[in-house]
Amino acid sequence: MHVILIAPHFPANQRQFARALKEAGAFVTGIGEAPFHQMDAELRGWLGYYEQVPSVCDEGAMLAAVRRIQARGWVDRLEATIEAHILVAAAVREKTGIPGLSTQNAVLCRDKPTMKAFLRERGIPCAQSDSADTVQEALTFADKVGYPVILKPRAGAGAADTLRADNREELRAGAAMFHLGHGGSAAIEEFIEGHEGFYDTLTVDNEVRLEFVSHYYPGVLEAMRTRWISPQIITTNRVAAPGYDELRGLGRKVIEEMQLGTTATHMEWFFGPKGLKFSEIGARPPGVGTWDLYNAANGIDLYREWANAIVHGDVFQRPSREYAAGLIALRPECDGYITGYDGADIVGREMGRWIIDAHLPPPGTPTQPVEAGYMANAWVRMRHPDYDVLRQMLTRVGEVLKVRAHP
């Protein structure tokens, strides 16, 4: 099988998809922005061929590259694993006759108002939402559903550029940031109170073959706006517990209704006073190295199983559920440069046996802003057989391991 992989070099874990495809027996062609000679020898060895383009988000450049590849031989699949590449990949597939996620379904995954309208029509609970091109449209929506409301990009990932408005004045300010009424457009949603998490799968022909459930502490919007919080992401090993039955059932319904095919999926959800609500649906793996947590928790190679699903139409490993696993992000005390750490010795002494890995940038490293994400600065990943014990340990890490910095 010949598989084209978009951006095999960046971000760092993209190389694992290339490695897995090669190990599964595929001939792998990469398309990316970096020169081939700048990649390390190991990655170059997994790629049978490579096409460099100015931007993997440029549909014209991508289409020309794929047609050059097809001129040399048959292409079976064109795979994208990054949110920003999904729509371009779908458009190029349709123009070149390569099977996979369609443009229609890619739009459903990328355009939030369209996605939520589609799901609500099929009985899948979502927040009330709409698109807004003018300030008045945003105000009318908020008057109908009540405050607070959320403004976000129509095609974004995570909490990037997401705003909460608690009143008309804040909504007007947010509308100005999105240039509503001046050519801009945004998704606007009711604010859903409740606990936030995500449901991830690996599907083959719309059938869930592997599934995982993870939790955010606290929710993403708060985590990405508040420096003093050391936010956590924890994947549970209690997926079969009855409390997840509704989530798993609705997740399967989403996949079937959207006809996502053979792919990784990522679904964000809230559970609170209004019950279970889906927030985002992605035909891609989750971000922030979450598959690495799944692997460490379950004794599997999920990258390889993704490749097996594509190349062989099946998966061959099952998750052990031996461990829960989690990530805690550690924020510098201020923006500037890292000067050192307090408490690392305590963490190692008390919990070293449960640490999967950690990233503590050396003194002198420039800090990244809080909104840059969970892995932008320091972080620790851990696992433990008991979910509740793991959460307590991660909280303890956040209490004692401090990232010192100066402006």
Say yes or no: 241 and 222 in one domain.
yes
Within the chain, how many helices (H) and strands (E) appear? 14, 18
Residue 164, strand partner residues: 150
- The set of long-range contacts for 81-85, using a CB threshold of 8 Å and a minimum separation of 24, is 81/6, 81/14, 81/17, 81/264, 81/284, 81/285, 82/6, 82/7, 82/11, 82/14, 82/284, 83/110, 83/157, 83/282, 83/284, 83/287, 84/57, 84/157, 85/6, 85/7, 85/56, 85/57
Say yes or no: 226 and 144 in one domain.
no
pTM: 0.92
Is omega for the bond preceding 148 within 30 degrees of 0, making it cis? yes
Say yes or no: 169 and 200 in one domain.
no
Model pLDDT for residues 45-54, shown as the tens digit of each residue: 999 999 999 9
Residue type, 32: G
Say yes or no: 75 and 182 in one domain.
no
CATH code at position 11? 3.40.50.20
Gyration radius of the chain's alpha carbons: 22
Report the half-sphere exposure of 280 (CA within 13 A, side-chain side).
24
Q: Is residue 50 part of a domain?
A: yes
CATH code at position 172? 3.30.1490.20
Q: Is residue 158 part of a domain?
A: yes
Say yes or no: 177 and 209 in one domain.
no
β 195-204/129-132 pair status: unpaired
Last residue of a domain, one of 141, 172, 190: 190
Say yes or no: 236 and 350 in one domain.
yes
Q: Is residue 294 exposed (0-12), middle (13-18) or buried (19+ Cβ within 10 Å)?
A: buried
Say yes or no: 207 and 250 in one domain.
yes
pLDDT on residue 32: 98
Q: Is residue 114 part of a domain?
A: no
232 and 326 Cβ atoms separated by less than 8 Å? yes
Last residue of a domain, one of 147, 174, 190: 190
pLDDT on residue 374: 96
Q: Is residue 233 part of a domain?
A: yes
Among 46, 24, 25, CA closest to 317: 24
CATH code at position 356? 3.30.470.20
Residue type, 382: M
pLDDT on residue 159: 60
Which tokens belong to 167? Answer: 């009143």
Say yes or no: 212 and 186 in one domain.
no
Q: What is the rounded distance in angstroms from the CA atom of residue 99 to the CA atom of residue 323?
A: 36
Q: What is the rounded distance in angstroms from the CA atom of residue 268 to the CA atom of residue 281?
A: 7
Q: Is residue 237 part of a domain?
A: yes
Among 286, 405, 400, CA closest to 340: 405
Among 157, 283, 128, CA closest to 220: 157
Say yes or no: 155 and 219 in one domain.
no
Which tokens belong to 371? Answer: 């909104």
Say yes or no: 21 and 44 in one domain.
yes
What is the CA 210 to chain-centroid distance, rounded? Answer: 17
Residue numbers of the chain with a pLDDT score lower than 50: none
First-residue to last-residue Cα distance in the chain:
52
Give the list of residues 6+ apart from residue 358 with CB closer than 8 angstroms, or none: 378, 379, 380, 381
Q: How far is CA 279 from CA 10, 192, 260, in A?
A: 27, 9, 17
Say yes or no: 32 and 133 in one domain.
no
3-state secondary structure of 112: helix
How many residues are given for the chain? Answer: 407
Q: Is residue 167 part of a domain?
A: yes
Q: Is residue 210 part of a domain?
A: yes
Q: What is the rounded distance in angstroms from the CA atom of residue 197 to the CA atom of residue 290?
A: 13
How many structural domains compose the chain?
Answer: 3
Helices (H), 32-130: 41-46, 59-72, 86-96, 103-110, 112-121
Last residue of a domain, one of 151, 172, 190: 190
Say yes or no: 168 and 200 in one domain.
no
Q: Is residue 109 part of a domain?
A: no
Model pLDDT for residues 112-145, shown as the tens digit of each residue: 888 989 999 999 999 888 999 999 999 999 999 9
Domain that holds residue 141: 128-190
